[in-house]
C-alpha cells in the first residue's frame, strides 16, 4: 500500500528459450519468464502497477499492455522509452483501469514474429466491487473483449492511449 492504494509490482524477464513442442521438436521461443504464455498479471481497478521488464534476450523487446494508460507507458517503438535493448530494463508504471481481461505482448517489429515466438500474456483487471457471476456471453468472449458496461462507467484521461493492437 502507498497512500492508501494497493501497489502491485512484478518483474518479468525476456528470455530466449528452446521449448520442446512435440517429442524431439524444439522451437526457438522468445518468452516472458521462460514460459508461453507469459505469467498472468492480475490486479484490481485502481491499483498502482509497476511492471519491471528486464530484457535478458539477445533481441530487442518491449511490453505493451492493452487497456488505458499514459502514452509513454505504451511500450511501442519510438514512444516513451520504446524498445528495450538486450541487457536493458524499464519499469512501466500506470494505474489499473478500466477493469477487463486484456493482453500484454511485445510490440517490437516484426510484431507477428515477436508474438508468434511467444511474447504475450494475460492482463486481468478485476472490478473494484468484485467480479459478477459468469454469463454465457462472458464465457464466449475473447481475451480482448470486455463488457460494454466497462466502457460506459470508465473515464479515459486525455493523456491516455487506448490500445488495441
Q: Which residues bind Cu ion (CB under 5 A)?
A: 61, 106, 108, 114, 119
- Cα diameter, the chain: 53
Task: Closer to Cu ion by CB, 60 or 98: give it.
Answer: 60
CB of 72 to Cu ion, least distance (A): 19
Q: Please name which of 133, 2, 156 lies closest in space to residue 67, comparing C-alpha atoms.
A: 156
Task: Closer to Cu ion by CB, 60 or 67: give it.
Answer: 60
| Three-state secondary structure call for residue 49 | strand
CA distance 144 to 94: 19
CB of 119 to Cu ion, least distance (A): 5
CB of 111 to Cu ion, least distance (A): 9
Task: Closer to Cu ion by CB, 41 or 108: give it.
Answer: 108
Position of minimal CB gap to Cu ion: 106
Cell triple for residue 102?
486484456
CA distance 31 to 22: 18
Amino acid at each position: 500500500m502507498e497512500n492508501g492504494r494497493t501497489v502491485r509490482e512484478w518483474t518479468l524477464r525476456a528470455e530466449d528459450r528452446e521449448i520442446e513442442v512435440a517429442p524431439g521438436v524444439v522451437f526457438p521461443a522468445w518468452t516472458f519468464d521462460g514460459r508461453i504464455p507469459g505469467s498472468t498479471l492480475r490486479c484490481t481497478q485502481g491499483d498502482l502497477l509497476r511492471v519491471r521488464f528486464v530484457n535478458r534476450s539477445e533481441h530487442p523487446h518491449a511490453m505493451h499492455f492493452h487497456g488505458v494508460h499514459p502514452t509513454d507507458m505504451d511500450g511501442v517503438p519510438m514512444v516513451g522509452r520504446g524498445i528495450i535493448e538486450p541487457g536493458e530494463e524499464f519499469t512501466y508504471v500506470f494505474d489499473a483501469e478500466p477493469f477487463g481481461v486484456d493482453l500484454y505482448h511485445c510490440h517490437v517489429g516484426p510484431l507477428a514474429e515477436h508474438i508468434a515466438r511467444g511474447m504475450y500474456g494475460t492482463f486481468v483487471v478485476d472490478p473494484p466491487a468484485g467480479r459478477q457471476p459468469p454469463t454465457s456471453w462472458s464465457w464466449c468472449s475473447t481475451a480482448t473483449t470486455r463488457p460494454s458496461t466497462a466502457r460506459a462507467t470508465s473515464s479515459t484521461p486525455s493523456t491516455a492511449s487506448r490500445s488495441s493492437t
